[in-house]
Structures are given as C-alpha cells and as structure tokens.
Structure 1
Amino acid sequence: MLLSIKTCLKLNSSQRVLMSKHAGIARFTYNWGLATWQALYKDGYKPNHRLLRTFFNNHVKTNPDLAWLKENGICQKTTEFAFEHLGDSYKRFFKGIGAYPNFKKKGRSTDSFTINASGKPISVGGTCIKLPTIGWVKTYEGLPHVQTSKFTISERAGNWYISFAFEQTAEQSADKISVVGVDLGINELATLSTGVVFNNPRATNKMKKKLAKKQRQLARKVKGSNQYIKQKLRVAKIHKRTSDIRLDATHKATTIISKNHAKIVVENLNVSGMMANHKLAGAVSDANFYEFRRQLEYKTKLFGSEIILAGRFYPSSKTCSSCGHIQNMPLKVRTFDCQKCGIIIDRDLNASINLSKLGQAVVLNADG
C-alpha cells in the first residue's frame, strides 16, 4: 500500500528564496493555464491540460520577458505538474466532487509545487534529501530509507514542508482485541467500548484568546505594509499551532486504536450536515470527526485491521447496551439512564458498546 509522509524542511535563507521562486512559477503557470482554458472554452473549443502544456512550453516559455521561468536552479518539472494539477481540478469539477478551479493568489493560498526526476525513482533516507535540480536540503526528523517518484513542497505559516508517497507493507500486530466500538464525541475525542477514553485537547478554546489578540493587532496595521505582513504571519502561526494540537491528538488516538484492535466499528457521521448547524460547527470542527475517520481508514490497512462503518441512522446513543431499549437522548444529557432496566452508564461508553455489539454481529454473520 502507498503511505505518505509530510515533514518540515530545515532551510537556509537562499533555499527559502529558491522554494518561493518555484512556488511562484507553479502559481503563474496554473493561473495562465486556467485563464487560457476559460478563454478557449468561451470561443467554443474543448481544451485540455496536455495541449495547454505543449503550447506553454513551445511558445510562452520562449518569450524573453519570461526568462525567469528558466533561470538557473529552477526545476522545469514545476510547470508540468502545474498543468497536471489544473487537469485534476477540472476532472474533480466535472465529476461533481470539487468546486470550479479558482485562480491562485500570492499570500491568500498555500504556496506549493511538485517536482520529480523525469520518472526515475528517487532514494530518500535520513535527514538529507537530494531534490532534482534544487540540490540537497535538510529535514528536522529522520526519514525512512525508501524510494519515491515525486515530491510536493508547500509553505505554511512561514515554514516549508516536503511530502511524498512510498510503498509500505502492512504491519501485523499480535494480540489484538477482536472487536472494538469507537464513539466520537465533542466532550471527549473518542470513547472505546473497552472503557478507554481519548481526551479532546480543545485546541480552538486553548488558542482563542491569543488568536483574538493577534487579530486585533492585525486590524490596526496598514494593509500591505511590512508590519501588516509580519502580523499576518503571526496570526497564521497561531492557526497552524491550533491545527497541529488537534492533529497530534487525532494521530495518537487513531494509531493506538488501529494497532491494537482487529475490527473497529465507527459511525458513518454526517459531518457536513453537522457543520451546517452553526451551534455545532465550532465544536465539530474542533473534534476533528472527518479527519479521525480518514486516518482510521488508511491506518487500518497499514496495521492489518479492518474498519466497519455503522449506518448513519443506527441509534447507538439511544439504545441501552444492556437490554436494547430505545429512548430519546438529547445532546445535553450525558448519562444514559435506561427507563426499562434501570442501568445508568456514561452516554459515550453506552454508544461505543452498542457499536461493538454491531461489529460482533457483522463478524458472526460473515463467519456463518
């Protein structure tokens, strides 16, 4: 299976400038392709990214005014992948799984670019990577000794990151618990049917006051000035820190669950519907429901486990895990007090036990 890694690069000032140049070329190429595509379509043509790339290489790159596209140290694969990304954007749009492509704006969208070594495998390992044309760059953490076909380099809050995919064989862990139910919540990140609870770090609340202060300071700056740009970077770093806290907790929880359980049962939550509710949107975003499930889906493959999705309307929270009685459970009620058998149990633990029972029934039906 393919596994992806993303890690921060340890760059000097000249390397940062070089990365910015590559990202600027990728942004210019993408925007040129999008503008040309729209103009050709308006004139009745059916353009595609390959034709645009050929025209760009043969006619646009040769323009003396655009000599900076081919200056020394610039990997020419940057423009090729910019057209690939444009083509992918249109494919997602035509399939109905993505919005119509937008123009990229400096400072308003994440700067990134993709390069390769003309299809040849590239060796990676340790804390140094030799990038095509760009040369050697350092990373803060050691990387596994693997081979990859291409790199994507992106900027976020002043830091540059490198990501790539490589083949990884699934790890088989011994002594796994056969079935576990996982209830995702707002108060707690996840509650397992075994009684294990993963705490929600509530990253947004932690950084709320700090973010508000920095945003007020940003509002007082003259837009476009050096001080405005510096303050905008400070705000971006707080957003990044918030996201990092949230992701760290999610990664730790999903890794432990995937490694130690053979079959993992989670609800197929309607996250987009929850986000549409303004009363729940902030809490749902902070709980990272979508990302939690996404990580479980690929980590179960990595660790040789299996994920089972309960139906969207399965009443895990409303059903008594002891007698099966179903009763209404408003969100504000955090304890399940069964009106039939009298059992009193934590709401999230009750739901996770019900999910575990559902998983056991699925396993029995499959074996039978």
Structure 2
Amino acid sequence: MATVELEAANRSGDADTLATFKEIYNKLKEELLSDHAVEFTDESLQWIDHMVDYNVLGGKCNRGLSVIDSYKILKGVDVLNHEEMFLACTLGWCIEWLQAYLLVHDDIMDNSLTRRGKPCWFRVPQVGLIAINDGMILRCHVSRILQRHFKGKPYYVDLIDFFNEIEFKTTSGQFLDLITSHEGDKDLTKYNMKIYRLIARYKTSYYSFYLPVACALLLAGENLDNFTGVKNILVEMGTHYQIQDDYLDAFGDPEFIGKIGTDIEDYKCSWLVVQALECANEAQKRILSENYGKSDPACVARVKDLYKDLNLEEVFRGYEMNSYNKLITGIEAETNKDIQNVLKSFLFKIYKRNK
C-alpha cells in the first residue's frame, strides 16, 4: 500500500489530524479494492491501486482537511470523537476523489503537460486516453464511499444531491471555459470580466470552497438553505482563488507551484488577458491577437512581456488587497462567530499564496 504524501509543511493542521487523515485514505482505498460489485482481475486491481494513488494523492489536500477544520469549529471542539473524525475525514477524501476525477479530465481537455510536479495521468506511458475511463471510475468511487459510510444518516440524501449539484456546476464551468476558448473560433472580443467571473464561479468556487464547508454543515445537522450568505462569501472567495491561480500560471515558478502554466498557449479566458484587453492600446491589442493562443515559446514570451509592460503584476496586487478587504467585511457581518471563524480560516489559507 502506498504511503500517503501530504504537503503539510505549509499548513497549520496538527500532526494527529494529518496522521488520521492518512490512515483513513488507506482504509477507504482498501475498501474500494475489495468491493465485490465487480469481479476485477489482479492486473486491473493493480492498475486501479496505482491510478488512485497517482491522482488522488500529491496535492495539498486543503479541501479535504478543511472539512475537518470547519466541523471542529462548528462543534466548538479541538478534538472530535472517533466516529465524528472518521466521517469528517471520509467526506474530506470524497472531495479529494471528486477533484482527482475533475483534474484527470481537465488535463486531457487542456492538453496539459504536468500536474502536481509530475506528468498528467493521460501522459503516463500505457495510459493515454484510458484516463477518461479512469476519471469516471474515480467519480464512481465517491458515490460508493458515500453509500458505504453515510447511507442511513439523516443527511445522506442531501449529501448525494449536493455532490451531484456541485459536479454539475463544476462541469458546467468547464464547459463555459472550453466553449469560450474554442480552438476553431478564436475571438478575443468574447473575453470580458462577466464571462470570466462566470467561469471562475462555476469551475472553481463551488467545489473548492463551498463544498467543504457545506459538508461540515451537513455533518453538524444544519440546513444549507439557512446559509445563503455563507455560500455567497465562499463563492466570491473561490473567484479570488482562481484569479490568484491565473496570475501564478503566468508569473509563478513551475518548480514551486507544481505545474507548467499553459493558459496563454491554450487561449484561456484568464484574468490576466481580460485585464490586458481592458487597458491595452490598439497596438498592444494587436500583439495579443497575433500571439495569444500559440504554443511557440516566442509568442508566449511576447504575451508575458506585454503583461509586464501593462504592469499587470501590480494590478493583481491591488486586486488581491481590495478583494481581501471586501471579504473580511462580509465575513465580519455574519452574526454567528463560529461561521466567522470557519470563513476566516479559509481566507487566511489562500491570502497571498504563492503556489
């Protein structure tokens, strides 16, 4: 059984929580490999074992760990009992499994090179487009984990419905992203802040920010309909996160952030190109039109040079500070102190991140 590797050095979680989280991953994976719903061969089981480790592990696991952190805050305790901890960790891993499925397919659609410091799964020798089916298996795992450990809980149906809803929103965001930057219809005039924010909201915000907190709320016996304001703050926080991601795609160190940015080559509707279009003169817009969306390193360099000429690094720093202040104002308007603490814990993890 592979050892779980978590990038814990940059996270303030305690060692006991991380150790328990690792143990529960191994338990959940072992249950899936022992699932008798399908008669797998030894070869196929070895493939799934490796595939799950390769794609579910290797990230920061902030989404999954945030379920535990949020649940502790909502319950007002530093230590959860054995069952509470197990259920919180299991939901956390369900989110990590869901993300793995989304990233496997996202990397294929974007023709990406690396993910988490290693080749994308579909680029691994002998994998190729088998990765499409592997992604579907990862998504099916989420449903089977939920069924095994939450069926009979009063919130089970809500969990199933919620994961389905989040998956729909996220894949719809991916669709908006893909259709806006369609290879056969390259048109920078379609790129504006309205469409950008729609893509960021649906592709990133719901599953990365709202889903972990909603899982904690459901575990705590809460009705999600009572937390619309919390959802809105978390969705806006997710947009903040996506803008950071777009900035790092162009200006981050690939060795440090764990992937090679390809937004320029992929003709993505990124925050940086939208900002550039809003402030560029006609000559600068021609540079964008002639070079954006091309894989030639010289074209990519010209776009990045233009970003620097337009001082977009400083524009980003200004956005980051203003967004942070607005989020803090919204959080502090929440009357429930526990909810405030949950939201602040999320914000403090991402503010001024560099990877």
Tell me the TM-score normalized by structure 2: 0.28
Question: Greater CA radius of gyration, 1 or 2?
Answer: 1
Structure with greater strand share of residues: 1
